Structure 1
Amino acid sequence: MDQPLCLIVMPFGRRKDATGRSVDFDAVYERLVVPAVRAAGLEPVRAEDARSGGVLQGHSYQRIMHCDYLVADLTTANASVYYQVGVRHAVRPHATVLILAAKSAQIPFDPDRLQGVRYRVSAQGLPEHEARYRALLTERLVASRQGPPDSPLFQTVPDHPALAGTPPADLRDNLQRSVELRQRLAQARCQGGEAVREVERQLGDLARCESGVVMELFLSYRAVNWWNEMIDLSKRMPPDLAATVLVQEQLGLALSRSGRGEEAENVLRDLIYRRGACSETYGILGRVLKDRWEAALNDGEKKGTKDLLDRAIDAYLKGFEADWRDAYPGVNAVTLMELKEPPDPRRREILPVVFYAVEQRIRSGAADYWDYSTLLELAVLGRDEAKGIDALGRTLAWVRAAWEPKTTARNLRLIREARQRREAEIPPWSERAEAELLKAAERGTARP
């Protein structure tokens, strides 16, 4: 007999909660939630709406209402998750279990009153004490069909009518097809663009496909660098999906990589106008403008390059101001300020703030290669030899692929060349750092 279905509503990948802490939700899903759901005798089904920008289609509501159980993660205080929980509570008196990472920011209601499960994550954002919280979640799931309702609506309005009737006959078939299509796309990404295109042919009418599958296809084209196919797909996908922040950001990136920088800028500026300031969107816009500036320099076009550089700096700076915890736009703003002729004096004010943002992320335990390489770049910009030598050692220890140190060495080279043009002093240690990074790029792995 088929096991009861348990819909799991939670973010994908790494996401920050309202406190700025980064949580690896894929690890939470795989190591904590799925084993707990299966131990309760249920079949886990992950909701894909988070991947598609929270776009809810007909099948989304079917699953929210008709899956036997639902687990919702409230850690990021996501409005779409709240809405889905509200829909569920309006039609199902039982079998809705809320979870969230302990010490997350306050949410609009008390999850403990609804028998929520608070799990713990490490400084790296990974689940801790997994056996304990798996057992607790399993216990809550088993108990959720018995006893008083877990829906606040049914608790306070006992005669409110529950959902009647049987689940749609095609509910399980649609779920199975969705899983199979995602598996095919995962395999196709390893085989190249033609394989991804073949899966798209199998999808048929995109208007009839789940938004999560269409988004997976869109990101699969990105994974194989098929930029023109991404652009084309954005025009053919359902309009509500095409209008999401993720699609518009990635469309801007695809247009830029296809040599259509002005169109990319227009797409991203329109997104910012409609959705407001965001460090991620401004960071992509800064990258688009920076690429156009570099292309103009390489082509020997002096006219307009200063304007492009100024606009790139402005975009990165606004991105950093939108979220002081995000050092990526900050370090890019400071580096480009150094490359100006003459250098932008604001870089001296911003530099220590970016330093602090990176150091805070490293202290959180969620650091990777880019955090340490950013510290190195900032040390070179600030002419801080002690911090630079320390950051270089840690940067080299975190190399995962050749392109990482190659990118950092390129940034240091641009800083060095700008200073040489001004006949400014070049600290010997920064030149050694550049050389060590190039050696690491040749090895392609961390320093032995």
Structure 2
Amino acid sequence: MNVFIVRPFGTKNNINFDRVETELIRPAMRAVGLTGGTTGEFVQQGNIRTDMFELLLIADLVIADVSIHNANVFYELGLRHALRDKRTFLLKSAGDDVPFDLKTDRYLPYDANDPAASVGALARALEATLDSQQQDSPVYQLLPDLEPADPDKFLIVPLDFREEVEQAEARKSPADLALLTCELEGFAWRAAGLRLIGMAQFRLKDWHGAKTTWKAVREYDDMDLEANTQLATVYQKLGDMVSSDQAVERALQSRAITNEARAEILALKARNAKTLWTRDWEHLQDLEARQASALMSPHLERSYHLYCQGFSEDRNHFYSGLNALAMLTILTELAQVQPTVWEDNFDAPEDAPLTLQKLKRLAADLAAGVKLAIASKRAILARTQQTDTWAEISAADLSFLASTRTSRIGQAYKSALAGADAQARESARNQLVLYQQLGILTDNTQAALQHVAPSGIEKVPEQAAPRVILFTGHRIDAEGREKPRFPRSKETQARALIHEAVEAERKTATGPLLGIAGGASGGDILFHEVCQELGIPTLLYLALPQDAYRAASVADSGAQWVERFQRLCEVNTPIILADADELPRWLRAKNEYTIWQRSNLWMLQHALTKSNDNLTLIALWNGDVEDGPGGTEDMVNRAKERGSAFIHLDTRTLLTDA
């Protein structure tokens, strides 16, 4: 996340504020993983006021030093309090008295003579501020109905970043989208970029990736409407109904939610209840047992009521109304075929038939409302010369629920599904099969299924993801390298280390193995050769096209390595990251980040995706810390965060071998 620092400059009132930033604020920010700066960094650009206003608005966190009475600090602090309702943090040394308007605000005290002593306290306080959803702006505390500015509306996501997201989606590559997610760290427009990626992952049905991305968006605001709406569906697809319902409740608390959106998300919650209801009975083999279990399940009525709530929010939302009618019809039909089970719901047996008749009247009223909603939708479609298969299927579903004319029902489905895609046919059929499994509405079901043939969608059994061995390691040292890492004379020993590590993985593997590595002279090529000897297939990932990569990462090691690289490319068609070594324009501002760091992260994300997180990272590495994203240390840390195994082949042992 990004920070904007509001403070005096230079030494004032015997406080060196530049030192305070260097020794206190910056170290605390680094400890929490924050980036950012002050207006002083924009002076030479000639538009300090514009930048200052923008940063006060879009910064995820503002740190303001109110140690002395400084007009600029108080002006900027006032602007922040007016623009954003939360995440403004105050700190103060022993200087001037705090102004009256800020006396009730909390702040972190520090010693101006030893600012570094408070780094730990400030880091903990910043973490707590980021985690808190409480308002700290006195403006919004006193005016609770005031809506804070939405920073995303003022942030421009670079065009070439948008294009990269579109290209990754077109390639249907969740791994490339995950790479972009990692690379957004440190950019002021990160949240807006995450939204683009999250929507692409959603469309690709990359539910695990979408969950990670939308949770990252929600870190900015627990009650983010879009994030919670997306997470509600994502969790549903992953089978986590509790988390889905929790996301729904958060979305419903948003002030920005429309009636149409409320109807949609209530219908999603109703769908969760319906899923839990089917789990209660679908495993039973005996028909009467299925019927009894389905009728007794509390999720049946809960689903019905939630669909009704959705339809009440928006009478044009025929989907929720139609499904409310379906659940109510199932309830009344089951009550008739299982009268004893139905009566057990009432203290007085005579109440059972009375309630059933009341529910049937409700169903008739509901059917009339749904009929009007569908008719309205079809009229709009006709007027605008558009078609909607789902509206036509809904009309057929309504006929199924409200009519006893089996020939009319069959014709309705035949017309609705003419030209429908496989997904639409499968959805319509699944609902009809549900009635069939419960043994209700049998005549209508038989008539409909005659015209709703199986979609032809074959459920291909999911193959177990391979265990992936991802390799990263040093190149062979250039002649005369000042600080040796991998001397040419130690190739045999390095090969033995790699062979031992890969062989150990092969012996413990319970399924298929796959190796992934680059093609640089040294560790990369040795890894591919070892895997080939052990019968393990590998994928060759190159940061640049083959000729450019050879020139950059192989040629200076000599003809022998070039020949081995060429042989490797002949048996493993290279997978290429980029056409040139220049980063995309949107990435060039990222400190200490090159195409080579990007290549490391790219391979890591592909390995994690292909292995479904069943990954071992082998690093032929001297253990030196490499700053910036994409370095070996960063790769190791990211892999460990995902639960990956890590094998460190320390090249320092090569230097100590006799």
TM-score by length of 2: 0.37
The answer on 1:213 being equivalent to 2:204 is no
The answer on 1:279 being equivalent to 2:263 is yes
Tell me which of 446, 452, 459 is aligned to 1:431. 446
| Partner in structure 1 of residue 432 of structure 2 | 412
CA distance in 2, matches of 1:214, 1:192: 16
The answer on 1:376 being equivalent to 2:380 is no
Offset of 1:268 from its aligned partner? 1.0
Contact 2:218 2:228 in 1 (8 A): no
Tell me which of 271, 279, 282 is aligned to 1:295. 279
The answer on 1:309 being equivalent to 2:300 is yes
The answer on 1:363 being equivalent to 2:368 is no
**Residues 60/296 of structure 1: CA separation in 2 closer, same or farther (3 Å cut):** farther
Offset of 1:294 from its aligned partner? 1.9
CA distance in 1, matches of 2:414, 2:294: 41
For residue 263 of structure 1, what is the amino acid of its counterpart? Answer: S
Offset of 1:395 from its aligned partner? 1.0
| Partner in structure 1 of residue 367 of structure 2 | 351
Offset of 1:241 from its aligned partner? 5.5
CA distance in 2, matches of 1:305, 1:250: 32
| Partner in structure 2 of residue 225 of structure 1 | 205
Residue correspondences, number: 269
For residue 422 of structure 2, what is the amino acid of its counterpart? Answer: A
CA distance in 2, matches of 1:216, 1:288: 26
CA distance in 1, matches of 2:56, 2:322: 40
SS at match of 1:237: helix
CA distance in 2, matches of 1:368, 1:322: 23
| Partner in structure 2 of residue 189 of structure 1 | 169
| Partner in structure 1 of residue 237 of structure 2 | 257
**Residues 58/236 of structure 1: CA separation in 2 closer, same or farther (3 Å cut):** farther
Offset of 1:381 from its aligned partner? 0.6
Deviations 1:287-337 (A, max 9, x none): 122122223333559599621121111111100110001101111111111
Name structure 1 gaps, 5 residues minimum: 1-56, 63-86, 88-173
Offset of 1:233 from its aligned partner? 2.4
CA distance in 2, matches of 1:312, 1:222: 25
| Partner in structure 2 of residue 79 of structure 1 | none
CA distance in 2, matches of 1:241, 1:398: 43
Greater relative contact order, per chain length (Cα 8 Å cut-off, separation 6+): 1
Contact 1:265 1:289 in 2 (8 A): no
**Residues 304/342 of structure 1: CA separation in 2 closer, same or farther (3 Å cut):** closer
**Residues 179/242 of structure 1: CA separation in 2 closer, same or farther (3 Å cut):** farther
Offset of 1:437 from its aligned partner? 1.9
Tell me which of 257, 268, 290 is aligned to 2:248. 268
CA distance in 1, matches of 2:181, 2:267: 30
| Partner in structure 1 of residue 351 of structure 2 | none
For residue 392 of structure 2, what is the amino acid of its counterpart? Answer: Y
Offset of 1:274 from its aligned partner? 4.5
Contact 2:410 2:450 in 1 (8 A): no
Deviations 1:366-417 (A, max 9, x none): 5400000001011011125375355324312341x20111110111222344
Contact 1:319 1:330 in 2 (8 A): yes
Contact 1:286 1:312 in 2 (8 A): yes
Identity among equivalent pairs (%): 14
Deviations 1:100-149 (A, max 9, x none): xxxxxxxxxxxxxxxxxxxxxxxxxxxxxxxxxxxxxxxxxxxxxxxxxx
SS at match of 1:442: coil
Contact 2:215 2:227 in 1 (8 A): no
Tell me which of 187, 192, 198 is aligned to 2:179. 198
CA distance in 1, matches of 2:188, 2:378: 44
SS at match of 1:404: helix
Contact 1:358 1:371 in 2 (8 A): yes
**Residues 389/356 of structure 1: CA separation in 2 closer, same or farther (3 Å cut):** farther
Name structure 2 gaps, 5 residues minimum: 1-52, 59-82, 84-154, 285-289, 337-358, 459-658
The answer on 1:246 being equivalent to 2:203 is no
CA distance in 1, matches of 2:294, 2:427: 27
Offset of 1:195 from its aligned partner? 2.3
SS at match of 1:438: coil
Structure exhibiting the larger radius of gyration computed from Cα positions:
2
Offset of 1:61 from its aligned partner? 8.3
RMSD: 3.3
Tell me which of 309, 312, 320 is aligned to 1:321. 312
SS at match of 1:243: coil
| Partner in structure 2 of residue 337 of structure 1 | 328
| Partner in structure 2 of residue 442 of structure 1 | 456
Contact 2:214 2:230 in 1 (8 A): no
Offset of 1:202 from its aligned partner? 2.9
For residue 273 of structure 2, what is the amino acid of its counterpart? Answer: L
Tell me which of 397, 417, 424 is aligned to 1:396. 417
For residue 221 of structure 1, what is the amino acid of its counterpart? Answer: Q
CA distance in 2, matches of 1:358, 1:303: 29
**Residues 223/349 of structure 1: CA separation in 2 closer, same or farther (3 Å cut):** same
Contact 2:277 2:294 in 1 (8 A): no
CA distance in 2, matches of 1:297, 1:397: 33
CA distance in 1, matches of 2:283, 2:277: 10
Contact 2:414 2:452 in 1 (8 A): no
Deviations 1:261-305 (A, max 9, x none): 112112212432454761111111111221222233335595996
CA distance in 1, matches of 2:54, 2:314: 35
